[in-house]
Amino acid sequence: MKSQQVRQQFLDFFASKKHTIVPSSPMVLKNDPTLMFTNAGMVPFKEFFLGQKTVKDKRIADTQKCLRVSGKHNDLEEVGKDTYHHTMFEMLGNWSFGDYFKKEAIDWAWELLVDVLKIDKDCLYVTVFEGAKEDELAYDQEAYDYWKKHISEDRIINGNKKDNFWEMGAQGPCGPCSEIHVDIRSDEDKAKISGKSLVNMDHPQVVEIWNLVFMEFNRKADGSLEKLPAQHVDTGMGFERLCMVLQNKQSNYDTDVFTPLIREVEAITNNDYGKDEEIDIAIRVIADHVRAVAFAVADGQLPSNTGAGYVIRRILRRAIRYGFTFLNKKEPFIYKLVSTLSKQMGDYFPEIKAQNQLITNVIKEEEHSFLRTLEQGLILLDGIIKSTNGTKVSGKKAFELYDTYGFPIDLTSLILSEKGMTLNEDEFTAELEKQKNRSRAAATVETDDWVVLIDDNEEEFVGYDILETNVKITRYRKVSSKKHGDLYQLVFNLTPFYPEGGGQVGDKGYLEASNGNVIYIVDTKKENNLIIHFAKSLPKDPSQTFKAVVDQKQRYRTACNHSATHLLHQALREVLGTHVEQKGSAVHSKNLRFDFSHYAKLTADELQAVEDFVNARIESKIPLNEFRNIPIEVALKKGAMALFGEKYGDTVRAIQFGNSVELCGGTHVQNTGDIWHFKIISESAIAAGIRRIEAITNDAVKGYYSENNKIYNNIKELLKNPQNPQKAITDLQEENIILKKQLEILLKDKAKSLKGELIHEVENINGINYLAKKLDLDQNSIKDLAFDLGNKIENLFLLIGTEKEGKAFLTCFISKNLIEEKQLNAGQIVRELGKLIQGGGGGQPFFATAGGKNPKGIEEALENGKRYIV
């Protein structure tokens, strides 16, 4: 059975059981502060389990794209080494929100697997929760009783809390679960040892296929459990594993989910899958990782150095490294797999097809970048090896290579073993643990339980129409972190405060009590459908009524910038073409940032045309046309643009300014004239095929022109107030060019005269002509001098220090024959000596330079030069 058929049969089965089939939510989470990625099928439905959103459909089924590479669910290092872990995977799931419970979940799971999909029931085992004394939880007799109607009792296995009690996190909804495991070993292997003893033992052919979670408790901050108001079912079945079973394969990677990618890797790299374990692992890593990266980029997450972007970059770099080391690919190739992936999955996940070109460009650029890093790292590692006494390399130095330059530690270990050397792994592990502890300490957030004052989960947002209103606090809790200290999260019965989302920052403002006391709201965010207001203190009497007031000035400036992003989007599509799509935005009160797809730097004329387009709409004073709570189909018919990677409900809000129509939940001006003026501050590249414009509006533009005017007047004053400042500057530039040429001639003459003097200062040490000297020359003259001396003197080791404008510079020249004969390397030497001038550098083995901020270290660096040859 083809994988597309497997997916469809699952959905069709639950449709027949009156489940609403919903599309997969984005894998990248943009408005959830607790998670970076969807790591389980239940994540899009968290607010239903928490009772923070009204359930429309009590029965739902879907296939959800998931990513597990960080936090509690971290499978990254297992991927490729075994045949059943993945980074990106599909989770088939059926859900009941307060409707059916254990009986139906168990009956239907068995019916689908055995009756519909025809899996041999003698291959199946199930687990039930054995109970936990510490939580006063009894054995799940109910689940056991339902299972024994379908399966012999000797195939029902007791499971402990670790395996059979599912929790969303340290706090929140949880409950016992029943796992279904499948044994796909050969009859011969089954005869030797029972599959029952291999359940949950990480056997590659005895694997969990489906988990049925029975949500009935809420874990509180103190660790205690309380009953949820309603019982829910949350199931998750691994699509890739199910395909393995139904296609009679022994590995997920042998199914048609992965074979098209594997065949393409074989063709591109001239390697055969199935003949060598190291090559097989590399190919599996690449086939898995390209899926994760491609879907993340399609959902709007570009590789970067922080947060979710760093996770995606790390996944891709792991794939590149495996290709580099085991498939001998020293040039980009993974990007070529995107086309195959798009053809394979594009029908069910249209975003992967629509974003094909962008994904290809991003991966190709990342490959180029990391391959350069690997090349640089190999040079640095070579330097570490040469400076090591003995065969054990410092773990601290290896960690610096890993942490600062991104050079993979397993590649370091591999290269060392090839050279008969070893890594001090204990030292490396200690440094890594220190870094992890620092990160954990910085990221740790302690969260108390909610103190509920009013049982009201329907928090109404009224901030589109009013900026102040009377509110009641319905619940509050304290949160503590190293970064922000102690804060209080407050939830109101209704609120005028806009929560951070859609690129727009959250509102600030204050709460005023009846006695005049004020509590300042420093930020507003949304979590699981709750609008949460952050305050540094708690009102003395939280139960009273407060006047909630939004900072009007900040809201107005933010609204100006948000409306400007819509006009900017329209302008870019008009000026550059309809291929332009929004890829991210950040709307603050002071400025705006807009990321978009385009494959070339904008020219000055294009930037001016974009700016003029926006300002023309501002001058036209176009009124806002707002459509609230309209069906998404109606909004799309009006021409509203929906962004890939965004999760939209059945009803949406559309914002229209003339021909600009976008789905948007943010705050906007009532008329484009309110924006006053739009000014682009910068335009740059942030990734392959992605550009970024930063701009300002309103008061910020006034400040910008005021500051520019001040700078202009200061320049005129420096130029003695000429009638034509532009001509005065041009004259200065021409005069400067003439003076520079004269200075170059003088410095060359000085260097020539110095050459004769320096020749007489050369020492012969162990057959090497050595000279270390501080000179007063510019870097170009020093380079010319070094090469002149090198041509004149054999076996030369030259080290020159110089100081310029408070900065220190070192230059090292080594005759080429000494590089091999004496194992000397100018690049390595200046890197080490550069530390003495509080800097660094590098270059070629025969010529290298370093720069630093400590001129006082020049003399010590020159004195240390001798130790490399004695």
Which pTM does this prediction carry? 0.75
Residue 224: per-residue pLDDT: 92
**Largest separation between any pair of C-alpha atoms in the chain:** 101
827: amino acid identity, one letter: G
Q: Please state, in angstroms and rounded to a whole number, the distance separating the CA atoms of residues 467 and 496.
A: 5
Q: Please state, in angstroms and rounded to a whole number, the distance separating the CA atoms of residues 713 and 704.
A: 14
Q: Which helix (H) or strand (E) holds 772?
A: strand 768-774
- Predicted confidence (pLDDT) per residue in 88-145, tens digit: 999 999 999 999 999 999 999 999 999 999 999 999 999 999 999 999 999 999 999 9
Q: What token pair was written down for 485? A: 């200290």
Question: Exposure of 347 by Cβ count < 10 A (0-12 exposed, 13-18 middle, 19+ buried)?
Answer: exposed
Which residue stretches of 576-666 are H helix? Answer: 604-619, 632-637
Which residue stretches of 628-760 are H helix? Answer: 632-637, 698-718, 725-759
Q: Looking at residue 642, what DSSP letter applies? A: P
Q: Please state, in angstroms and rounded to a whole number, the distance separating the CA atoms of residues 129 and 138.
A: 9
- Residue 358: closest CA among 574, 582, 570: 582
- Predicted confidence (pLDDT) per residue in 267-323, tens digit: 999 999 999 999 999 999 999 999 999 999 999 898 988 888 988 998 999 999 999
- Predicted confidence (pLDDT) per residue in 343-373, tens digit: 999 999 999 998 999 999 999 999 999 998 8
Which residue stretches of 68-225 are H helix? Answer: 102-110, 141-147, 161-164, 187-192
With residues binned 3-state (H G I as helix, E B as strand, rest as coil), the percentages for the chain, rounded to 5, are 45, 25, 30
- Residue 332: closest CA among 283, 268, 271: 268
Place of tokens 């005895």: 206
Q: Do 781 and 752 contact (CB within 8 A), yes or no?
A: no
Instruction: Name residues of the chain where pLDDT drops below 70.
Output: 31, 33, 70-75, 440, 442-443, 644-646
Strands (E), 9-87: 20-21, 59-67, 69-70, 73-74
Residue 168: per-residue pLDDT: 75
